[in-house]
Structure 1
Amino acid sequence: MAKINLRPWREELRAEKQQQFVVMLLGAVIVAAGLAFLWKSDMDARIAYQESRNAYIQTAMKQLDTQIKEIEDLKRKRDELLARMRVIQDLQGKRPVIVRVFDELVRTLPEGLYYTDLKKSGETLAIVGMAESNSRISALMRRFEESDWFNNPNLTNVAAADGARAGYSQFNLSVQQKTPEPEGEEAK
Structure 2
Amino acid sequence: MAKINLRPWREELRAEKQQQFVAMLLGAVIVAAGLGFLWNTNLDNRIDYQESRNAYIESATKELDSQIKEIEDLRRKRDELISRMQVIQDLQGKRPVIVRVFDELVRTLPDGLFYMDLKKAGNTVSIVGMAESNSRISSLMRQFDESEWFANPNLTNVSSADERRAGYSQFNLSVNQKTPEPEVEEKK
TM-score of the superposed pair, with normalisation by structure 2: 0.78
Matches within 5 A, 1:9-88: 25-88=25-88
Write out per-residue CA displacement over residues 89-110 of structure 1, whole angstroms, 9 at most, x where no aligned residue. 2222222111111110011112
TM-superposed deviation, 1:115: 0.9
Q: Which runs of 5+ in 1 are unaligned?
A: 1-6
Measured on the aligned residues, the alpha-carbon RMSD in Å equals: 2.9
**How far 1:13 moved relative to its partner?**
9.3
Q: Partner letter of residue 47 of structure 1?
A: I
Match of 1:94 in 2: 94
SS in 2 for 1:111: coil
Measure, in 1, the Cα distance between the counterparts of 2:71 and 2:36.
Answer: 51
Q: Which residue of 2 aligns with 1:126?
A: 126
Q: For each residue in 1:33-69, what CA deviation from the matched residue of structure 2 results, as whole angstroms up to 9, or x when unmatched? A: 2232122111111111111211221222232223223
Q: CA offsets, 1:5-41, max 9 Å, x none?
A: xx8x7x9999888767655554443333223212211
Equivalent AA in structure 2 for residue 62 of structure 1: K
Between the aligned partners of 1:23 and 1:70, the Cα distance in structure 2 is: 69
Pairing 1:164–2:164 present: yes
Q: Which residue of 1 aligns with 2:143?
A: 143
1:115 aligns with 2:107: no
Match of 1:152 in 2: 152
Superposition deviation, residue 116 in structure 1: 0.8
Distance in 2, matches of 1:132 and 1:76, equals: 59
Q: What is the alpha-carbon distance in structure 2 between the residues aligned to residue 138 and residue 28 of structure 1? A: 123
SS at match of 2:182: coil
Q: Output the CA distance in 2 between the equivalents of 1:12 and 1:135.
A: 151
Please report how far the alpha carbon of residue 72 of structure 1 lies from its aligned counterpart in structure 2 after TM superposition.
Answer: 2.6
SS in 2 for 1:151: strand
In the alignment of these two chains, the number of paired residues is: 180
What letter matches 1:120 in structure 2?
A: K
Task: Give the stretch that moved more between structures: 122-131 or 76-85.
Answer: 76-85
Shift of 1:163: 0.8
Deviates more, 1:176-185 or 1:141-150: 176-185
TM-score when scaled to structure 1? 0.78
In structure 2, the residue corresponding to 1:80 is in which secondary structure?
helix
